[in-house]
Structure 1
Amino acid sequence: MLHNPDQARYDTASIAFHWLTAMLVLLLWLMAQSEALLPREWRHGMWSFHITAGAILVLVYCARLLWLTSSAIRPASVNDGALRLAEQAAHGLLYALLAATLVLGIVNVAVRGWDLFGLLQIPGFAPEDRPLRRSINGWHELAANVLLSLAAGHALAALYHQFVRRDGALKRMWFARRRAP
């Protein structure tokens, strides 16, 4: 990952990975939170969709890490001192919590097994072990909730930069508009 102080915004791929990740994380979290609102007969399909979207997020996360470590060009931070350290810590925690949530989701499916939309049977290695299933599911839920809380703090920090500091940090993560000739 290269820092480029002359560049005013993140590269297009980094921006796309950022917003795709954010949308998938929010979608997955909202699905999990709304299970009880759905009729019982829809829940299996919702969880199949949740697992599929989670698998897509795993692929996006891996591609994002590959891009970040090989080709991404980022502008220099607008922060310094303690804010710069907080920024680095928050970004590191976001990546770590997302990885933990995804790994726990994979383990959760591997333990219980799942019939994915009636098209693919994912075998479980301990589907009858309720205490293990509950424990792993609990850790997955906890990681997802902490991840979403930290992501909300990240969004608030972006709004602080936009409306209080007015330093353009939020604009750097938006897609550039093409100007008419």
Structure 2
Amino acid sequence: MPSQTTNLKKLLILSLMIAMDVVLSPLFRIEGMAPMSSVMNVIGVMLMGPFYGTIMAFVCGVLRMMLLGIPPLALTGAVFGALLAGIFYKIYPTVYSAMFGEFLGTGIIGSLLSYPVMAWFTGSRNGMYWFFYTPRFIGGAVIGSFVAFIVMKKLANVPTFQRIQAMFFNVKVGEEQHVTS
């Protein structure tokens, strides 16, 4: 059973990841794409697992909507990407499986669910169709996943990253390395 100190550390790391995501996403934004959100999703689930990674994506989406005026697309893309990246990473712990989950969750599922959400949000279906958001969401997920791949290759050997990852996955450092190629 995790101690109060461990739970506090997990919440602190989650808070730091949320802060980094909220600050970095608008800085490295391409119109209609949020590749930095995909970067943070992949890193977040590999560091903290699917539960905390999905919470991170949800809170970041809500904060981007409230603080930056981003439409609900901030939620439809990020949450499904983080959830599937985390599930795929938990089943097969490699950076490639997290990247695939991010691509599938954000690029395909998130983009398709964005159509009905935005049709409801704007009150109009004019000029929109089911695959309206798909090219941009796929582009952002692919770009972000490859950037995350590069970052994760560097972080895999950083002792602090390994210790934090071991805390979230309840293993001893060196017992099982989750970041594999």
Q: Which TM bucket (shorter chain)?
A: 0.3 to 0.5
TM-score (norm: length of structure 2): 0.32
Q: Which has the larger radius of gyration?
A: 1
Write 1 or 2 for the structure with the bigger share of strand: 1
Q: Higher helix share goes to which structure? A: 2
